[in-house]
Amino acid sequence: MQNRRPKALSFLAKISVILGGFALFWSGLSTSSLSAESPPNLVVILVDDLGFGDLSSYGAEDLLTPEIDLLVSRGMKFENFYANCCVCSPTRASLLTGCYPERVGVPGVIRTHPESNWGYLAKDATLIAQPLGKAGYHTGIVGKWHLGLEAPNRPNDRGFDHFHGFLGDMMDDYYDHLRFGNNYMRLNEEVIEPEGHATEVFTDWACEYVKSRADQPQPFFLYLAYNAPHTPIQPPEDWVQKVKQRQPEIDDQRASLVALIEHMDAGIGRFLDTLKKAGLEENTMVIFTSDNGGQVNVGANNGPWRSGKGSMYEGGVRVPGCAVWPGKIEAGSTTDRSVLTMDIYPTLLEAAQAPADPEIDGVSFLPTLLGKEQPKPERTLYFIRREGGGKFLGKTIDAVIQGEWKILQNTPFSPLELYNLKRDPQEENDLMEKAPKIAREMGQLFQAHVQRGGLIPWQKPEAAVEEITAVEEE
């Protein structure tokens, strides 16, 4: 099977599912004109912990991101792009399956040590490489994987033809590429020891992949996942000096993060230039976004939104995003349509003229990209993060958004909070006591989604945890 839904859904959850399915059906009707055209190459660029306000094109005034800004200007910019989670693994699981992360066994971060691990990719989850492969695509991933360290949960085990990257969560050093002394760098299943800054290494590999596909008749899907600007904030020193020379007043912490982002921006520009020189730009759809909000305590800027990475407030889940497809997506266009990372899955499949499993949670936004009329799905958005350590003790934090209302619990031991995002986008005025009827209805939706996710195991079946230790940093 492929991403089965549980039979026991509450009435409210069933309504949400039906409406989401109708929107997907409508979007399929609106793009039927694609059927006469050859399918495009597909590229998803996912960066790590990039704050909503940490691009020039999203309002940053103390950094320069000309390459990403140019990409944004060439297509459609998203004003309401939500990551599926406020931390890494769950969002990546949603991107690659089109499902809420807990429905595929990844409600939290997958890590090296069992006592710090809060996810295990479900064996019956269908990753996007599988339907794209059936549709004739060559599928590749370059960069950070973070959905499993061993069989059967490595990229090649789950349908990808090519993997050149890092299996783990974060690198302890951008130059030695190790995590707890482990080397997770791989070329398919081969252990490798590349030299250089990880951002440059991943850019090199992505460019090599594009060049290898340039003369092939088969379309390709490339998932390019940078680990920048995730901690450690370790840009090349010459990039830090460029920032300080341009802005003598900038503090050291912010200068380092700005340098890491600008260095990544240059790498993305080099990759896009390679795509152009290979003659592939015109028939390639590129989607760019981040896996979650920026990490505030290392100097990230999340624009107008409250808090950042690890939080269920808007700063943790609201991220920048754009989509480019020359001749198909209008340059300089914008949309206020709310989309989630998991919506990328059916969007890519629709562009590839490949069927998506109707049981997924994601809804294609391809009609919106193509400038067609597309009703906004009246769906409820859910967010969950399971974590360990003294602040979580293995419990979850959650959020639910329906229309202009948002209910959340930002620590497992704090009261629920209710906000009206239309009137209070900064989430400053808790309305739990002032709007009890709304709070009750939102709470019912909250509960229904917890029940759905609870049907899927999230620990490795044979995992034995004998000792509880401090939570690992993600």
What is residue 378's predicted lDDT score, i.e. its pLDDT? 84
CA atoms of 356 and 131, how far apart (whole Å): 8
Q: Is the pLDDT of residue 18 over 50?
A: no
Quick: pLDDT tens for 193-207.
999 999 999 999 999
Q: Tokens in use for 93?
A: 């699981």
**Does 285 lie in the same domain as 215?**
yes
Number of domains in the chain: 2
Q: Does residue 96 contact residue 348 with C-beta atoms inside 8 Å?
A: no
Residue 400 backbone phi and psi in degrees, to 5: -135, 130
What is residue 464's predicted lDDT score, i.e. its pLDDT? 52
> Between residues 55 and 463, which one has the greater pLDDT?
55
Question: Last residue of a domain, which of 328, 345, 369?
Answer: 369
When pLDDT is cut at 50, 70 and 90, the band that residue 9 belongs to is very low
Quick: pLDDT tens for 108-158.
999 999 999 999 999 999 999 999 999 999 999 999 999 999 999 999 999
| Whether residue 229 has a cis bond before it, omega within 30° of 0 | yes
Q: Is the pLDDT of residue 5 over 70?
A: no
Q: What is the mean pLDDT of the chain?
A: 92
Q: Is the pLDDT of residue 239 over 50?
A: yes
CA atoms of 70 and 76, how far apart (whole Å): 11
Quick: pLDDT tens for 423-462.
999 999 999 999 999 999 999 999 999 999 988 999 987 7
Least trusted range by pLDDT, from 73-77, 303-307, 457-461 = 457-461
What is residue 153's predicted lDDT score, i.e. its pLDDT? 98
**Does 297 lie in the same domain as 183?**
yes
**Does 189 lie in the same domain as 63?**
yes
**Does 417 lie in the same domain as 351?**
no
Q: Which domain holds residue 258?
A: 39-369
Q: Percent of the chain scored above 70 by pLDDT?
A: 90
Q: CA dihedral in degrees (166, 128, 72, 294; nearest 10)?
A: -50
Question: Last residue of a domain, which of 369, 403, 430?
Answer: 369
